[in-house]
Every structure is written in structure tokens, then in C-alpha cells.
């Protein structure tokens, strides 16, 4: 019935899209993800057989379903379904799906090629056997570069090894922002010191490129590579006020979303990389960027300061001024940075953002409270109104923050009676996780939590089982 339902629903889709496929396969996955792993593996075999269906819609959704099975939470994941860490038996389970998926890497449909890459990237050592075939997609005009890079990165350093030079010399200069970002992040996965040094040398040659998007990608890659020797070059890019706008025609036409700021602005990329490198010697320059007229630069400066530990804390006042910034993304970043630095002296200003107009800022503020020690505990009562916030991300964050304070144990009954029935799975999951930290107070609601073992959401069932 499951397989027939998957086939029939697939034929109802109007086009090959990840969103459509995910909606279908996730809906069906929820019906079986609570069963034992042997049954899930049996379903995987059936879904694999649907790859032979002549309808590309069925093939596409089947690939997405296999990918989701491999990434699933709960029993399927816990027992090692399609996971390379669980021995030869599991490897054999994934061999047949991997073999069939690899045949789509040369498909005439770009959508099918991308879906095959995504699925192979989740199949552990079975997918790694096809790393060379995936790597062939990195060059040429067939498309699917970013999906191929993501797949190789997911398969691990061994799969990436032979493509380090291609990533550094071709993918980082690719016209697509998605491909450039994927390449920068993938270089950070490389573990071999010789390969990392070679990659860093090649990337450094791109920092002075005349192309804005190339300078941005190179600066990002140096941060992911952890190349501390490039701090001076990155600091120099803080004065680069250029912005790449080559992507705008595609966005206007609905072809792509707005690229991340690190792929458009060299200064933003440099700031984020200096943060990743914990370049404390540049803390003063980074702090100066919090007063930039460009809100995206201010946002990246806040993120960078949050990673500089004691040197970042020396500039907490400059971060605190960003809590009143006109751009909600900057206020959000400032909250996260102050939390990362444990800046307890600013807890009052952070709590004031519990009523911010942006849900993301409210989420960041209540999350920050958990990192502010006793100062945060004294204002714990301010968290409770957020348990009824209109935004589910805020309610979930509020529940999680309560779990960070031992003083909140007495409020277990409030959480259990009002929040376990929240309409959003993410909120129910966080409430269960928080109750599990409340000792005997949370244990008093064992029966209510046990009811969630039948929850429609796999993640909620998984949390309740623990």
C-alpha cells in the first residue's frame, strides 16, 4: 500500500521539485518511521524498485524518499539504516539503491541528476563507491555542481580528496553563488594537511581577483579551511566595499534567491572568516565595523565578535548598541554574539527584545538568556509569556531555555499541561526534552509523555522514547 501510494501520489505532481517530493515522501515516511529497522529496510528495497518506473516523477520522488529514509530520525536512524558506521550488513543494504541511483548521474534531466546526488550523499560507504562519477559533475555545462559538491562533502574527506584542486580553482569561481558557497564549505571538510595547504595556496591566489564574487568566495573558503596564515589578507578585505550584483537578473526572473551576504560582499566574507579563525588580533578592526552604514556588514561584524572569546567581550558595549539596530538581522546577530560571550551585564537589554516585532529576534533573545548564568535565572519569569507566542520558533526556544535552568523545575506542570499538545512538532519535541531535564518534576508526567510515542511526528516520538 505504501509503495502504491508513493507511485500514485508521484504521478499527481505537476513538476519535479524537491518541495513537492519532500511533501509526498515525508507524509508517507511518517506512517512507517516508528517501526523496526528491518521493516524500514524492506520499504527501502521497494522504493528502490520504483527507480525503474518510466515516469520521471515517480523516479524523482523515490530518490527523495530514499534520501529521507537515510536521514530519518528515530528507529531507522538509530539502528543504522543506510549508515556507513554500522558495518558490512548495512553496507549491503545500501548497495542496490546506490547502484541504481548512480545510473541517474548521467540522466538527461538535471532534476533527476541533482536528486540522485542528494540521495547518494546520504548512503555512506555505498555512496562513496561512486564518488568519481559524482565528481565528474563538478566541471562542464551539465549543471548540478552544487548538489555534487554537497554529496561529496556529505560522504566525507576521502570522497573529496581527489577533487580539492577542482573545488579551489573551478568551483570557487563558478557563476552560481550556490556552487561557490558549496565549494567553500566543502573545502572545510578536507582533513589531509597536504591537501588543505594546497587548497589554501590556490585560494589565496583568488583573493586579489578583479571579480567581486570571486574575492568573496575566496575569503569565505579561507575561513572554512582554518587558514590562520591568511588573517592579514582577510583584514585587508575589510576595506573592500564592493558588492556583486551579477545575480540580480536571475532573481528578478525568479531563477534564484538572494545569495548569502558572504557570497556577495568581500567585507562580509572576510568578517565571517576572521571570526571562524578566532583572529583576536583583529578584534578592534572588527568592532569598528559594527558602526558601518551597511547593515549586512554590521551583522557579520557582530557574528565575528561573538567568536573572539575574551577579545570579543572587550567590545560588548559596541555589540549592545546593535540590539537597537533598525535591521532585525543585526539585532538577532547581536543577541547571539552576546550569548556566545556570556555578556551577563547586558541581560536586561536582551530581555527587552522578548517583545521585539521580529519572531527571529525574540527567538534569539530568549535563547541568549540560557547563556547568561545567574543573571539570566533572575529573569526567568520573563520567559513564560513567550510559551504562548504566536511564532512556533519562539515557543520552542522558550521551552528549551527553561530546561537550561534548575530553577525552572517547579514549572514542569505548566509545560506539561499547556505545551505537550502544541500544534507544532518542534515545540512538542522541545517540551519533552525540557521535561526530561527536570528530574522528579518532569517524571511526574511520564504518562503524558508516553502518549507522544504515538505522535504523528517522528522527531517527537523519538524524544518521547528517550
DSSP line for 184-241 = HHHHTT---HHHHHHHHHHHHTTTT-SSHHHHHHHHHHHHHHT-GGGHHHHHHHTT--
For the chain, how far is it from start to end, CA to CA, in angstroms? 30
Confidence grade of residue 414 (pLDDT, cut at 50, 70, 90): confident
* Topology of domain 1-7+30-74+92-155, CATH: 1.25.10
User: So what's the pLDDT on residue 80?
Assistant: 44
Is the per-residue pLDDT at 7 higher than 80?
no
* Model confidence band, residue 64 (pLDDT cutoffs 50, 70, 90): confident
Looking at residues 304-314, what average pLDDT do you find? 97
Cβ contact 262:181 at 8 Å: yes
User: What is the percentage of the chain residues whose pLDDT exceeds 90?
Assistant: 63
Q: Do domains 280-378 and 394-465 have the same CATH topology?
A: yes
Distance CA 175, CA 245 (A): 12
Mean of per-residue pLDDT scores for the chain: 87
Residues 6+ apart with CB under 8 A from 346: 316, 319, 320, 323, 338
pLDDT at residue 236 above 90? yes
Give the pLDDT score at 12. Answer: 54
**For residue 53, pLDDT beyond 80:** yes
pLDDT at 240: 96
Residue-range domain boundaries for the chain: 1-7+30-74+92-155, 280-378, 394-465
Q: What is the dihedral of CA 336, 338, 339, 344, to 10 degrees?
A: -160
Q: Does domain 280-378 bear CATH number 1.20.120.1200?
A: no
The model carries a pTM of 0.87
Residue 28 pLDDT: 53
Residue 255: C-alpha distances to residues 13, 217, 244, 265 (Å):
20, 21, 17, 21
pLDDT at 14: 52
User: Quick one: pLDDT at residue 408?
Assistant: 82
* Distance of alpha carbon 325 from alpha carbon 353, whole angstroms: 11
394-465: CATH topology = 1.25.10
Amino acid at each position: 500500500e505504501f509503495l502504491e501510494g508513493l507511485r500514485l501520489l508521484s504521478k499527481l505532481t505537476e513538476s519535479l521539485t524537491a518541495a513537492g517530493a519532500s511533501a509526498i515522501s515525508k507524509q508517507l515516511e511518517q506512517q512507517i518511521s516508528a517501526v523496526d529497522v528491518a521493516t524500514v529496510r524492506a520499504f527501502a528495497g521497494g522504493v528502490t524498485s520504483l527507480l525503474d518506473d518510466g515516469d520521471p516523477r515517480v523516479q524523482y520522488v523515490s530518490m527523495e524518499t530514499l534520501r529521507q529514509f537515510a536521514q530519518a530520525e528515530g528507529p531507522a536512524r538509530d539502528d543504522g539504516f543506510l549508515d556507513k558506521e554500522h558495518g558490512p550488513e548495512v553496507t549491503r543494504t545500501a548497495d542496490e539503491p546506490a547502484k541504481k541511483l548512480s545510473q541517474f548521474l548521467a540522466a538527461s534531466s538535471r532534476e533527476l541528476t541533482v536528486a540522485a546526488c542528494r540521495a547518494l550523499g546520504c548512503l555512506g560507504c555505498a555512496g562513496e563507491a561512486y564518488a568519481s562519477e559524482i565528481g565528474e559533475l563538478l566541471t562542464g555545462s551539465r549543471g548540478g555542481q552544487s548538489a555534487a559538491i554537497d554529496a561529496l562533502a556529505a560522504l566525507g574527506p576521502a570522497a573529496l580528496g581527489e577533487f580539492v584542486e577542482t573545488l579551489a580553482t573551478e568551483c570557487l569561481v563558478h557563476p552560481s553563488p550556490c556552487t561557490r558557497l558549496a565549494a567553500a564549505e566543502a573545502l572545510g571538510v578536507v582533513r589531509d594537511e597536504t591537501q588543505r595547504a594546497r587548497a589554501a595556496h590556490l585560494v589565496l591566489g583568488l583573493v586579489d581577483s578583479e571579480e567581486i564574487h570571486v574575492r568573496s568566495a575566496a575569503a569565505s573558503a579561507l575561513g572554512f579551511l582554518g587558514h590562520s596564515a591568511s588573517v592579514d589578507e582577510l583584514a585587508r578585505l575589510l576595506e573592500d566595499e564592493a558588492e556583486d550584483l551579477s545575480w540580480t537578473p536571475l532573481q528578478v526572473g525568479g531563477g534564484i534567491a538572494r545569495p548569502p551576504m558572504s557570497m556577495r560582499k568581500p567585507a562580509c566574507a572576510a568578517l565571517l572568516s576572521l571570526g571562524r579563525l578566532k583572529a583576536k588580533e583583529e578584534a578592534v578592526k572588527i568592532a569598528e565595523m559594527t558602526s558601518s552604514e551597511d547593515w549586512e556588514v554590521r551583522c557579520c561584524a557582530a557574528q565575528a565578535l561573538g567568536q573572539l572569546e575574551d577579545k570579543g567581550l572587550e567590545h560588548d558595549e559596541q555589540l549592545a548598541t546593535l540590539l537597537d539596530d533598525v535591521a532585525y538581522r543585526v539585532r538577532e546577530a547581536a543577541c547571539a554574539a552576546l550569548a556566545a560571550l556570556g555578556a551577563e551585564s547586558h541581560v536586561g537589554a536582551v530581555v527587552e527584545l522578548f517583545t521585539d516585532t521580529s519572531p527571529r529576534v525574540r527567538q534569539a533573545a530568549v535563547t541568549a538568556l540560557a547563556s547568561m548564568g545567574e543573571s539570566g535565572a533572575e529573569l526567568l519569569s520573563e520567559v513564560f509569556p513567550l510559551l504562548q507566542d504566536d511564532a512556533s520558533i519562539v515557543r520552542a526556544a522558550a521551552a528549551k531555555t527553561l530546561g537550561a535552568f534548575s530553577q525552572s523545575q517547579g514549572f514542569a506542570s505548566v509545560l506539561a499541561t499547556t505545551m505537550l499538545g502544541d500544534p507544532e512538532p518542534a515545540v512538542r519535541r522541545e517540551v519533552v526534552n525540557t521535561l526530561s531535564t527536570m528530574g522528579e518534576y518532569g517524571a511526574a508526567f511520564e504518562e503524558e509523555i508516553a502518549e507522544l510515542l504515538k505522535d504523528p511526528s517522528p522527531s517527537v516520538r523519538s524524544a518521547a522514547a528517550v
